[in-house]
């Protein structure tokens, strides 16, 4: 009861209009966020000190400057630094707990979180079993503390120093797991250019035959041809990004007909320059064409965003109101890898929360 009062008073803040308050309090679901890309700046500094890693993150100003997005190469430096600092199971537990707290504060009820196990194990000596145990300790704590649920997507890295073995090794690990370990899919991340999907067709087939879902980044930095070949060779249940589909009307029709969802990450695409500005962003055109879109934050502190900010951006981009924005929560539930009974429960929970929010804000 006290919580409800607090929420109402927060919602009545005079500085924000009703739609912004709706965006903030709306229940959300996120399907494309990278665990290593969620490390908070202060946590990076703590972990670097703990592991005696030399990083330019001494005082608060230098820490903020290090995290500020400059260009893609610098973003990779920050990402690699975050990976370098994750060395022990408890480091993974900590970042999962912090991700859960950040999710709870944005009313994100469920997340599917990507992680890159193979480089961690190869470069820093932590075993897959140890790092997954650390992550699952965090997952349990997040569920108990915040009521936020998570599942994992284990990404092989297409341009890993170890070559295609990164994907093979990831499949070896995750096909041996129990559903209670929380890994629901194989993913494919890393540099698209020079590492086409056909190189990874065999391990992806092996994962599918073992009953795992598969997803892949495609059409982020490459054109629609790479989305077609990803669909053909990897048969993903969802595409990460996929926004270059806008350049191929036949592909747009195909995605709309098959309802293969895109995990769209607007701020990430704008920061990395794959789309020049918000006016040119293809979200609204893909949505209007009937493609099933979900809204995601990718690497939130590194791109200076949050999932809530992504919804604010879509409001500016497309003029969406509450009725439009709520659809993306339900799209994400439909596109998630939750078992059907849990999907239904999550759908009902979000539906009733949105209804009462809409009423309390007078947005009907």
CA atoms within 13 A on the CB side of 283: 30
- Closest contact distance (angstroms) between CB of 179 and Zn ion is 24
Question: d(Cα 117, Cα 161) in Å, to the nearest integer?
Answer: 14
Pairwise CA distance, residues 246 & 254, whole Å? 12
**Residue with the closest Cβ to Zn ion?**
298
SS3 content of the chain, % helix, strand, coil (to 5): 60, 15, 25
How near is the Cβ of 292 to Zn ion at its closest, in Å?
A: 18
Which is the catalytic residue, given 220, 263, 310, 342? 220
For Zn ion, the closer CB: 25 or 33: 33
Residues of the shown chain interacting with Zn ion in the complex, contacts defined by CB under 5 A: 298
Min CB(51)–Zn ion separation in Å: 25
Nearest Cα residue to 195 out of 232, 169, 156: 156
| Pairing mode, strands 213-218 and 183-189 | parallel
CA atoms within 13 A on the CB side of 156: 28
- Residue 268 CB, shortest distance to Zn ion, in Å, is 7
Which one, 192 or 298, has the nearer CB to Zn ion?
298
Token digits for 341?
């009974």
Strands, sheet with 213-218, edge to edge from the N-terminal-most edge strand: 28-34, 108-115, 149-157, 183-189, 213-218, 238-241, 262-264, 293-295
Other beta carbons within 10 angstroms of residue 325's beta carbon come to 21
Q: Which of 161, 338, 242, 332 is nearest to 234 (CA)?
A: 242
CA atoms within 13 A on the CB side of 52: 0
Six token digits for residue 63? 């820490």
Find the shortest distance in angstroms from Cβ 263 to Zn ion: 8
Q: Which is nearer to Zn ion, 252 or 302 (CB)?
A: 302
220 catalytic, yes or no? yes
Which is closer to Zn ion, CB of 24 or CB of 36? Answer: 36
Which two tokens mark 145?
């503390």
Cβ closer to Zn ion: 287 or 298? 298
By C-alpha distance, which of 226, 229, 157 is closest to 191? 157
C-beta of residue 35 within 8 angstroms of C-beta of residue 114: yes
State both tokens at 64. 């903020």
Match 């890393």 to its residue by tokens: 190
**Dist CA 234 CA 215 (whole Å):** 8
> Judged by CB, which is closer to Zn ion: 27, or 242?
242
CB of residue 220 to Zn ion, shortest distance in Å: 8
Minimum CB–partner distance for residue 187 and Zn ion (Å): 9
Answer positive or negative: Cα dihedral of 233, 246, 301, 13: negative
As annotated, the active-site residues are 220
């Amino acid at each position: 009861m006290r919580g409800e009062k607090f929420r109402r008073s927060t919602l009545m803040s005079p500085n924000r209009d009703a739609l912004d308050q709706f965006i903030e309090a709306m229940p959300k679901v996120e399907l494309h966020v990278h665990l290593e890309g969620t490390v908070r700046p202060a946590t990076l500094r703590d972990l670097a000190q703990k592991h005696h890693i030399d990083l330019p993150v001494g005082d608060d100003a230098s820490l903020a400057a290090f995290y500020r997005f400059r260009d893609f190469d610098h973003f990779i430096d920050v990402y690699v630094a975050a990976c370098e600092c994750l060395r022990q199971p408890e480091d993974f537990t900590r970042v999962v707990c912090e991700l859960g707290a950040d999710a709870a504060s944005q009313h994100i009820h469920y997340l599917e979180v990507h992680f890159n196990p193979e480089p961690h194990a190869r470069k820093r000596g932590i075993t897959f079993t140890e790092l997954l145990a650390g992550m699952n300790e965090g997952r349990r704590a997040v569920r108990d503390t915040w009521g936020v649920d998570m599942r994992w997507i284990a990404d092989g890295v297409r341009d890993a120093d170890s070559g295609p073995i990164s994907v093979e090794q990831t499949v070896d690990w995750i096909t041996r797991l129990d559903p209670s370990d929380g890994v629901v899919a194989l993913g494919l991340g890393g540099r698209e250019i020079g590492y086409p999907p056909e190189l990874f067709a065999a391990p992806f087939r092996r994962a599918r035959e073992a009953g795992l879902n598969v997803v892949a980044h495609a059409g982020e930095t490459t054109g629609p041809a790479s989305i077609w070949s990803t669909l053909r060779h990897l048969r993903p249940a969802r595409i990460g990004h996929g926004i270059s589909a806008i350049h191929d009307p036949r592909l747009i029709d195909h995605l709309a007909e098959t309802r293969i969802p895109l995990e769209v990450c607007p701020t990430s695409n704008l920061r990395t320059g794959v789309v020049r500005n918000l006016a040119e962003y293809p979200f609204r055109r893909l949505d209007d064409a009937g493609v099933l879109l979900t809204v995601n934050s990718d690497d939130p502190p590194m791109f200076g965003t949050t999932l809530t900010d992504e919804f604010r951006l879509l409001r500016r981009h497309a003029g969406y109101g509450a009725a439009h924005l709520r659809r993306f929560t339900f799209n994400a539930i439909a596109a998630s890898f939750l078992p059907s009974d849990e999907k239904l429960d999550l759908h009902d929970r979000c539906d009733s929360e949105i209804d009462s929010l809409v009423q309390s804000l007078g947005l009907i």
